[in-house]
Structure 1
């Protein structure tokens, strides 16, 4: 049995779908208050549903019983309920899940994180704390550190609105990024299962090419035949926002601090050489142009 924590999220649901298509037994953790339509889709896939919460250790103990693999994709950054925060969910909740998995003698814990950034901010602090705990736990583990998800960072939620032909760019937009498709991260997580080459290792994950924000916009402009209106957020403005979010006089805003730090990292870019990763996790990677064409309903473009 494979337990997916964060099963109603976009990545968790995709992992569930692919595992079920492969005939694997899957248990999905969902919370009271989860979107009923998302829960229903998991049920239709044949996922065994168990209600629980990362903030409720007893529910995690129940969820881990009889489980051979745990894949944790959950985060408070995109889906938040009362009492959720980076500290309560991404840090303390994930640490509780590691403890529950250890108590249940789970055979493999696969943790979705992100590449290390030379900065301190709440989401990174939480992820690194969980990674340290996993390494010290004695559990067989794999840590996956995907870079910027195409589906998230190239979406209207973060200012990249293809339908409106608008894009928000951080800094000059010249920093190369190994954008990765969500489905490729799902494939990487699944490729870790029953794979001795994945045990006890961390893998940075990126796409097959590194493109700047400006180059990404050019691809979408070419495919749509429309010129994009570009909003540029200067690096100085991002640093000012980051400082404001950390000002204790204004109250600590962990989520704002974290997103501002990630946006600043966008300015610098992040290039990942996937060749050593693919030798252990043989997955197909999605080029940005193929993702763009698919998102526009033109898979053959």
Structure 2
């Protein structure tokens, strides 16, 4: 029996389907204010849904009883990543749940310092609380979601045929699709032997390699464009925070720039990947992602 918090979200929904495909019994805790259509869709899949006040420890604890692992896929600001997730963790402990997977799904933020990335700072703060809890925890680090490379992450500029980069054109970055992340998470939730940290990447690829891949796929000659150094990027982040603060936005432009700055940092390297832990997973590369993107144009 696996319980999810955040099952109505994109990644959460994918984890639900991956768990069900493996024959797991799945529960979901959702807010009383959650979209009724999304809740109904979960129930139609066979998920047992508990509509609760996510800040009510007793209600969440009831939902956690008899569960073997709680998987958090919560997204939000401090009141969610710290406040609500703290309640979820306390409920898991109170119900005697043996394992907990926090809502991380990112690059390894334990290697970075406070102030470098707002959203990762919140997750690191939660880990301080998690470390004191009497429960076995497993964090999954997946780099960046590979789907972003054809959309929100401005690395490939298709019209001018450029691959934009900061710093070193040969620095390899880790990318994992949401489906791969979901399938790996489902496996980890059902695996009682997981360590504290697991590292995955569907692909590790540099801007220069991306240029070659997209050029070969499209038949067009793409060029590298160096936007500047990491120091320049840091300066632009400060400007963006001033002129476009994006108050109330979870992913304003400067937040994405902060993540890019982390990705091009050597501290973000992915050594000793755990991709082979679950051999049934077929890992999707950046070439695969770009090939699918070309077919859909």
Q: What's the TM-score once normalised by structure 2's chain length? A: 0.78
For residues 80-159 of structure 1, the aligned pairs below 5 Å read 86-113=77-104, 114=106, 115-116=108-109, 117-120=111-114, 121-151=117-147, 153-159=148-154
Out of 193, 210, 216, which is 1:222 matched to? 216
**What is the SS of the residue equivalent to 1:71?**
strand
- Provide, for residues 110-142 of structure 1, a one-character-per-residue CA deviation record: whole Å limited to 9, x for no partner: 124231242323322221222232232111221
Q: Distance in 2 between matches of 1:36 and 1:217?
A: 44
Matched, 1:171 2:162: no
- Which deviates more from structure 2 when the two are superposed, residues 89-98 or residues 209-218? 209-218
Question: Number of paired residues?
Answer: 283
Change over 3 Å in CA distance of 1:166–1:156 after alignment to 2? farther
Query: Which shifted more, 157-166 or 123-132?
Result: 157-166
Say which SS state the counterpart of residue 157 (structure 1) adopts: coil
1:47 CA displacement: 1.6
Check if 1:271 corresponds to 2:272. no
1:27-106 maps to which residues of 2 (within 5 A)? 27-52=27-52, 54-76=54-76, 86-106=77-97
What is the root-mean-square deviation in Å for CA atoms of aligned residues?
A: 3.4
Give the secondary structure class of the aligned counterpart of 1:178. Answer: strand
Following superposition, the deviation at residue 267 of structure 1 comes to: 3.0
Q: Give the match for residue 82 of structure 1.
A: none
Contact 2:157 2:163 in 1 (8 A): no
Question: In the alignment, is the contact (CA less than 8 A) between 2:140 and 2:200 conserved in 1?
Answer: yes
Structure 1: stretches of 5+ with no match in the other structure: 77-85
The CA distance in 2 between the partners of 1:224 and 1:39, in whole Å, is: 41
- Structure 1 residue 288 corresponds to structure 2 residue 279: no
Counterpart of 2:237 in 1: which secondary structure? helix
Q: Which runs of 5+ in 2 are unaligned?
A: none
* 1:15-63 deviation line (CA, Å, top 9, x unaligned): 1011112221111233355455543432332122223464554553343
Cα displacement (A) at 1:95 = 1.7
Q: Equivalents in 2 of 1:262, 1:194: separation in Å?
A: 30
Residue 235 of structure 2, aligned match among 236, 240, 244: 240
Q: Who is 1:79 aligned against?
A: none
Match of 2:182 in 1: 186
